[in-house]
Chain A
Amino acid sequence: MRCRELLKYLSDYIDRDLDASICRHIDSHMKGCKPCIAFINTLRKTKGLLKRQPKAVLSERLRFRLRKLLKKS
């Protein structure tokens, strides 16, 4: 499998949502291809960064305002 063919599988690969046989192809490609290793690591880090983005804090003012509007509606 060439690098370019690999690309379309990489999100499924890092999500572990891929056919075992394709997984094996990618695993064996990865052993010999440094650029692909770097690429997949950075894709994985991108996913990790999204997951760890700080949660938005909902203020008491907004919670209260919504309750008031619901009562009126």
Chain B
Amino acid sequence: MESEAELIIKSKQGNSEAFSSLVSRYEDKIFNLAHKVCVGMPAEAEDVYQETFLTAFKKLSHFREDSNLGTWLYRIASNLCWMRFRKKRGEPVVPLLDQSHHHDDDSDPGSGPIFRDWSDGPEELSRKKALREAIETALGDLPIDYRLVVVLRDIQGLSSEETAKVMKLSVAAVKSCLHRGRLFLRDRLDKVVSS
């Protein structure tokens, strides 16, 4: 099997066969990213998948060999997603509040909300399906920057450092987006469990 570096050199010379071999190594990951970010819009996800690799093939001369191809492809795909879901100019950006977890606001102990543990019970199985669906819907309601970070970190399994490279953000900014995104999702799931 040819090495990735060899395939990249051939692809840069316009060899589409070589580039197809590279595509095979990354397309499932890229498609999953697109699918998870474009919640409930399968046609958009297909477009992002396709455009990512067509763009990459066209712009491959800009790709520096000392960088990581996976990161570069994730970056193209994330950009394409971002363009689709970014707020239009003038539209207000709704800040994500750290909604819950203020049970020590009052000095009187035990006066705050009780947090359920979603503990395993007889209804656990039907709940699992409900939670899976709820998390998908909630992901779709997350502002796009948060959604991308959560998907890259917690679904695609990238590290904070890799996610920072993909998103061109600082590691601290990635961690903050991830934390607030998770809090938002946790809150929505809690409502499903409590209902």
Contacts and interface: CB of A to CB of B under 8 A. Distances in A.
Interface range on chain A (Cβ under 8 Å from partner): 35 or more
B176 to A, nearest CB: 9
Interface range on chain B (Cβ under 8 Å from partner): 35 or more
A65 to B, nearest CB: 7
Given A38-B117, A42-B190, A70-B57, A47 B154 contact: yes
B117 A49 contact: no
Tell me if B's interface is mostly helix, strand, loop or mixed. helix
A49 B154 CA distance: 9
A53 B135 CA distance: 9
B132 A66 contact: no
A4 B104 contact: yes
A53 B136 contact: yes
A28 to B, nearest CB: 16
A26 B179 CA distance: 17
Nearest to B116: A38
Given A53-B136, A69-B54, A42 B189 contact: yes
A73 B58 contact: yes
Interface stretch (B2-10, B24-32, B73-81): B24-32
16 contacts: A11-B182, A12-B175, A12-B179, A38-B117, A43-B186, A46-B182, A50-B185, A51-B157, A53-B155, A54-B132, A58-B31, A58-B49, A62-B46, A66-B50, A69-B50, A70-B57
